[in-house]
A = this chain, B = another copy of it.
Amino acid sequence: MKTMDLNCDMGESFGAYKLGMDEKVMQYIASANIACGFHAGDPLVMDRTVKMAVEKSVGIGAHPGYPDLLGFGRRSMALTPEEIRQYLVYQMGALKAFCNVHSATLQHVKPHGALYLDAVEDEAIARAVAESIMSLDPDLYFIALAGKKGKTMRQVGEELGLKVVFEAFPDRAYTPEGTLVSRKKPGAVISNPDLVAKRALDMASGFVKAVDGTIIELEVQTLCVHGDNLAAVDLVKTIKKTLEENNIRVKPMGEKIQ
């Protein structure tokens, strides 16, 4: 039986500020990337989100970001590899503590926002991210971008001995080169749930259809969908249903099948 992970960013609320639809989304996903307090999230939100993930048997991942709450971690910051390493150890450790408290295991790590994009582009940053994960716990899964653009993250992660997991975006259009179409271009984001679910199915079969119709091979172990609006809840739900109807088991990347 084929399997596929389905991940979503969670725990992005902060203090009085509520963001996302975590309660609604959690039941449909397999793995949650939980913000760690630097770009979003706070200790109460982290505790609540970890608890909810445990209740729904969702795999728990750290979603560390740049120390920029004001910019939601979406703005690149010129950090040294040393700074990135220690900022990530700190954030992953904080989330791991909430896992401990709820008798759960930290499953994976996925860098957030600008840190993710910078890791895709810059080997030194990808390496700093991977090293920090390795230094904390070599059993952690490391989510990297699937396809050509994710090559650096993949190589660096594998070189260090990390378990690298490739992710793709079923609601995003792909270029014939296998990269994401820029959000600035029309048609970059696909919103029809059935179409997105169909693409999720393709990805589970190892390919994606590019904007020009080209079929691109893509090794994918986890699908990422954003869950911050009502439509997204429907998207996640439809993807899960469609995959399961096609005998693909939606499960956390770290869950062993007996």
When C-beta atoms are compared, the residue in chain B nearest to A118 turns out to be B78
Classify chain A: how many residues form its interface, as a range. 35 or more
Cross-chain contact of A43 among B15, B90, B98, B137 (Cβ < 8 A): B90
A113 to chain B, nearest CB (A): 10
Cross-chain contact of A135 among B77, B89, B101, B135 (Cβ < 8 A): B101
A101 to chain B, nearest CB (A): 5
Q: Known contacts A19-B17, A86-B43; decide if A70 and B70 are in contact (CB<8 Å).
A: no
Task: Annotate A73-91 by CB proximity to B: 1 below 8 A, 0 otherwise.
Answer: 0111111001100110111
B78 near A114: Cβ-Cβ < 8 Å: yes
A76 near B75: Cβ-Cβ < 8 Å: no
A interface, CB within 8 angstroms of B: 14-17, 19, 37, 40, 42-44, 46-47, 67-72, 74-79, 82-83, 86-87, 89-98, 100-101, 114, 135-137
A204 to chain B, nearest CB (A): 31
A77 near B75: Cβ-Cβ < 8 Å: yes
Residues from chain B with a CB closer than 8 A to the CB of A101 are 89, 135-136
Residues from chain B with a CB closer than 8 A to the CB of A70 are 14-15, 42, 67
Can you name 27 A-B pairs with beta carbons within 8 Å? A15-B69, A15-B71, A15-B72, A16-B19, A16-B72, A17-B17, A17-B19, A43-B87, A43-B89, A44-B82, A47-B89, A67-B68, A68-B68, A71-B77, A71-B83, A75-B78, A76-B77, A89-B97, A91-B94, A92-B97, A93-B94, A93-B95, A93-B98, A94-B94, A96-B97, A100-B136, A101-B135
